[in-house]
Amino acid sequence: MPTGRNCRSPGHIRKTAPSWRKPSWPDPTPLADPEGFWAEAASAVTWTKPWDRVLDDTNAPLYRWFTGGELNTSYNCLDRHVEAGNGERTALIYDSPVTNTKTIWSYQALRDRVARIAGMLRGLGVGKGDRVLIYMPMIPETMMAMLAVARLGAIHSVVFGGFAANELKVRIDDAQPKVILAGSCGIEVQRIVPYKPLLDHAIELATHKPDSVVLWQRPQAQGSLVEGRDYDWAALEAAASAVDCVPVAATDPLYILYTSGTTGIPKGVVRDTGGHLVALTWSMRAIYDIGPGDVMFTASDLGWVVGHSYICYAPLAVGGTTILYEGKPVGTPDAGAFWRVIAEYGVKVMFTAPTAFRAIKKEDPEAALVKQYDLSRFKALFLAGERCDPDTLRWAERILGVPVVDHWWQTETGWPICANPLGIEQLPVKAGSPTVAMAGWNVQVLDAELKPAAAGEIGSLVVKLPLPPGALPTLWQNEDGFRRSYLNDFPGYYKTADAGIVDEDGYVFVMSRTDDIINVAGHRLSTGGMEEVLASHPDVAECAVIGVADALKGQVPLGFVVLKAGVTRSEDDIVKEIVQLVRDRIGPVAAFKTATVVKRLPKTRSGKILRGTMQKIADGEQWKMPATIDDPVILDEITGNLKEIGYAKP
């Protein structure tokens, strides 16, 4: 139980010294004594009111954490550091190679700006529990908007800037925001994407109409204002007064983040306030080894869960420095972009997606550009978002000479399920595994009959309830959908929808999504295992394997490979070699006989390969253009490749 007391505002919070212990890992305490473990972890957070119960199981399987407690996330991320005398410490570094802009914000400056933006929102009628939709690019004002909404006790829903109008309309109707904060445009490597026309069309389509739209005008492409509804952000903020933080219940939502659903209707993942902050604070110290003054570079987007957790909230919660990067791993200007950022700002830990490193490896296979930069202060690389193949992991280890941690988590979980806890002790690496379960994650494998699978046997990866703090407690105004999507298929467990194994040492191997387990003549095989083999070929930069319909075997695997830059060998020879590799390492049972060389793979903006869409194209099924696709033209190229090898029939 914390020693904080009831108060009128966070300025009256009694300060408590953070509690921290460094046990060996795996540590049985989070599962054996979850209330004791998480109460201790929660003492690193400043509360305005202590909780009544650490774990509330009165409505199981809908568990809640820290019921009765009150706090404010924005206060914990900004104000308390300023009040502790650390206002001049660097909080945020904005680095935008696409606009040639660099800006540094101290905790004091960031707090003051966030407080004014919160005042701007309050002037528009935003209060506790109201929703504010944020449709903005990778600029400081986006992160400030998130913190400002949290400051008021309101709920933000960040939608990736540039989302299509219909997808944005669906989110507007579901979240029903009082106010929409928008940027006038986003900037890609070689093009500008105007946001305002998309937003106007989405509001026109939506049943729910926001009271106000506030537009941040970027000089690259300014948007027009609708009279009576729209406001110029800069003018409105300049006229606003700073406001204090509003304490909210630990179980109140901090944000809604939409993730794609199997029905095509997005699911609004809810993140509660107290459990989220406690879990992120624990993860920063235990997993990432980041504390006050340390610099973390998370190369993601604020529109994704990684950006929410490890660009915005977690680094600031522990008094660290976070980098907001508006650029790409290659092309802004070259494949040394990440190394430049790490060297320039003294980055201790970087977090990005494996696909980013595959792109770098493709452009600079020998990592010649690394030699141009001083990376002596760099201590670890974390990868997540897609399964990291062993070849990419080993390549990164070799060129960087630091621990490379493949860790596994989801939008729904908010923070890592499995990782290598560098802040406690570094465990031996097993290539292809995100290592072991973290605090409170009781990961198990169940077979087709919902029985525990033997060590090393592939099955459905599930988490025994209750989930730890920080994981989603429900879906926004859709408890039935929450139960259907995550709880009903495996009673007593959370369904991750990932398939994999847990070995005799407790190491988890996430092989693929459960719908990527293909059935070849009665044999259940993982496409992820085949991708691991393809990626090991010296000429392959990245790859994907899908299961396609086959009249005789039910399904057979089909491979796609992207070659490294500079490879001039015959594509036919390379395909023959990778087919033989799969035969040698997995066996004839895989029935892997066909692969095609492609220029690039279709991906979401967060780097996930669109395997499901490729499968539908290959099988000649109806398919819909994914709203999150990075470049729609790629699917035309993939369709052409598939037709050449006898697939993608109309």
Please report whether residue 450 resides in a domain.
no
The candidate with the shortest Cα–Cα distance to 131, out of 261, 257, 265, 317, is 257
State the pLDDT confidence band at 519, using cuts at 50, 70 and 90. Answer: low
State the pLDDT confidence band at 549, using cuts at 50, 70 and 90. Answer: confident
- Give the range of the structural domain holding residue 263, as residue numbers without chain letter: 89-438
User: DSSP letter at 485?
Assistant: I
**Looking at residue 354, what is its pLDDT?**
87
Q: CATH number of the domain at 539, please.
A: 3.30.300.30
The residue to which tokens 């990067």 are assigned: 325
Please report whether residue 594 resides in a domain.
yes
| Residues in CB range of 313: below 8 A, 6 or more apart | 73, 77, 276, 277, 280
Q: The tokens of 542 are what? A: 């990245």
Name residue 306's amino acid.
V
Q: What is the number of structural domains in the chain?
A: 3
Taking the C-alpha atoms of residue 502 and residue 467, their distance in angstroms, rounded to an integer, is: 19
Taking the C-alpha atoms of residue 538 and residue 395, their distance in angstroms, rounded to an integer, is: 11
Reported as type and span, the H/E element at residue 321 is strand 321-325
Q: The tokens of 558 are what? A: 């089909």
**Looking at residue 612, what is its pLDDT?**
85
The candidate with the shortest Cα–Cα distance to 405, out of 313, 274, 310, 541, is 310
Share of the chain above pLDDT 90, in %: 74
Q: Are 119 and 243 in contact (CB under 8 A)?
A: yes
Question: Is the per-residue pLDDT at 514 higher than 70?
Answer: no
> Quick one: 37 and 146 in the same domain?
no
Question: Is the per-residue pLDDT at 650 higher than 70?
Answer: no
> Which backbone phi and psi does 294 adopt, to 5 degrees?
-75, 145
> Quick one: 52 and 139 in the same domain?
no
User: In the listed set 20, 38, 71, which residue is the last one of a domain according to the structure?
Assistant: 71
**Looking at residue 1, what is its pLDDT?**
30
Q: Are 496 and 459 in contact (CB under 8 A)?
A: no
613 vs 312, higher pLDDT: 312
Q: Are 91 and 74 in contact (CB under 8 A)?
A: no
Question: Looking at the DSSP assignment, which residues form a beta bridge with residue 629?
Answer: 604
User: In the listed set 408, 438, 468, which residue is the last one of a domain according to the structure?
Assistant: 438
**Looking at residue 526, what is its pLDDT?**
72
Please report whether residue 386 resides in a domain.
yes
Question: Is the per-residue pLDDT at 513 higher than 80?
Answer: no
Q: The tokens of 209 are what? A: 């109409």
Mean pLDDT estimate for the chain: 91
**Looking at residue 530, what is its pLDDT?**
87
> Quick one: 266 and 376 in the same domain?
yes
Question: Is the per-residue pLDDT at 579 higher than 80?
Answer: yes
Name residue 259's amino acid.
T
Could you report the per-residue pLDDT of 229-271, keeping only the tens digit for each? 999 999 999 999 999 999 999 999 999 999 875 445 679 999 9
**Looking at residue 516, what is its pLDDT?**
65
R_g of the chain, CA atoms, integer Å: 24
Strands (E), 443-566: 443-446, 459-464, 493-502, 508-513, 517-520, 523-526, 540-550, 554-563
- pTM attached to this predicted model: 0.84
Please report whether residue 498 resides in a domain.
no
Could you report the per-residue pLDDT of 441-480, keeping only the tens digit for each? 999 999 988 999 999 998 999 999 999 999 999 999 999 9
Q: How many helices (H) and strands (E) does the chain have?
A: 20, 31
Q: CATH number of the domain at 181, please.
A: 3.40.50.12780
Q: The tokens of 564 are what? A: 């490294």
> Quick one: 67 and 100 in the same domain?
no
Question: Is the per-residue pLDDT at 100 higher than 60?
Answer: yes
* Alpha-helical regions (H) of 438-547: 479-482, 527-535
User: In the listed set 438, 463, 479, which residue is the last one of a domain according to the structure?
Assistant: 438
Question: Is the per-residue pLDDT at 272 higher than 70?
Answer: yes
Mean pLDDT lowest for which of 158-167, 431-440, 483-492, 523-532?
Answer: 523-532
Assign 3-state DSSP to the chain and report helix, strand, coil percentages, each to 5: 30, 25, 45
Question: Is the per-residue pLDDT at 426 higher than 90?
Answer: yes
Sign of the alpha-carbon torsion through 361, 365, 369, 374: positive
> Quick one: 259 and 400 in the same domain?
yes
> Quick one: 424 and 525 in the same domain?
no
To 5 degrees, how large is the angle CA 578–CA 584–CA 586? 95
> Quick one: 266 and 392 in the same domain?
yes
State the pLDDT confidence band at 17, using cuts at 50, 70 and 90. Answer: very low
Please report whether residue 563 resides in a domain.
yes
Please report whether residue 312 resides in a domain.
yes
Q: The tokens of 394 are what? A: 């080993």
Question: Is the per-residue pLDDT at 406 higher than 50?
Answer: yes
> Quick one: 158 and 192 in the same domain?
yes
Mean pLDDT of the 289-313 span = 96
**Looking at residue 21, what is its pLDDT?**
56
Please report whether residue 487 resides in a domain.
no
**Looking at residue 626, what is its pLDDT?**
80
State the pLDDT confidence band at 5, using cuts at 50, 70 and 90. Answer: very low
| Residues in CB range of 344: below 8 A, 6 or more apart | 95
> Quick one: 267 and 331 in the same domain?
yes
Question: Is the per-residue pLDDT at 611 higher than 90?
Answer: no
CA distances in angstroms from 194 to 97, 179, 191, 617, listed in the order given: 19, 20, 10, 30
Q: What is the end-to-end Cα distance of the chain in Å, rounded?
A: 64
Question: Is the per-residue pLDDT at 117 higher than 90?
Answer: yes
**Looking at residue 13, what is its pLDDT?**
39
24 vs 233, higher pLDDT: 233
> Quick one: 408 and 545 in the same domain?
no
Please report whether residue 294 resides in a domain.
yes
**Looking at residue 538, what is its pLDDT?**
93
Taking the C-alpha atoms of residue 340 and residue 647, their distance in angstroms, rounded to an integer, is: 43
Share of the chain above pLDDT 70, in %: 94
Question: Is the per-residue pLDDT at 16 higher than 70?
Answer: no
Question: Is the per-residue pLDDT at 629 higher than 90?
Answer: no
Sign of the alpha-carbon torsion through 468, 474, 476, 482: positive
Mean pLDDT of the 49-67 span = 97
* Alpha-helical regions (H) of 323-455: 337-345, 354-363, 390-400
Mean pLDDT of the 587-600 span = 86
Mean pLDDT lowest for which of 251-255, 386-390, 410-414?
Answer: 386-390
State the pLDDT confidence band at 341, using cuts at 50, 70 and 90. Answer: very high
> Quick one: 32 and 65 in the same domain?
yes
Whether the bond into 466 is cis, omega within 30 of 0:
yes
Taking the C-alpha atoms of residue 524 and residue 330, their distance in angstroms, rounded to an integer, is: 37
> Quick one: 49 and 172 in the same domain?
no
* Alpha-helical regions (H) of 176-231: 196-205
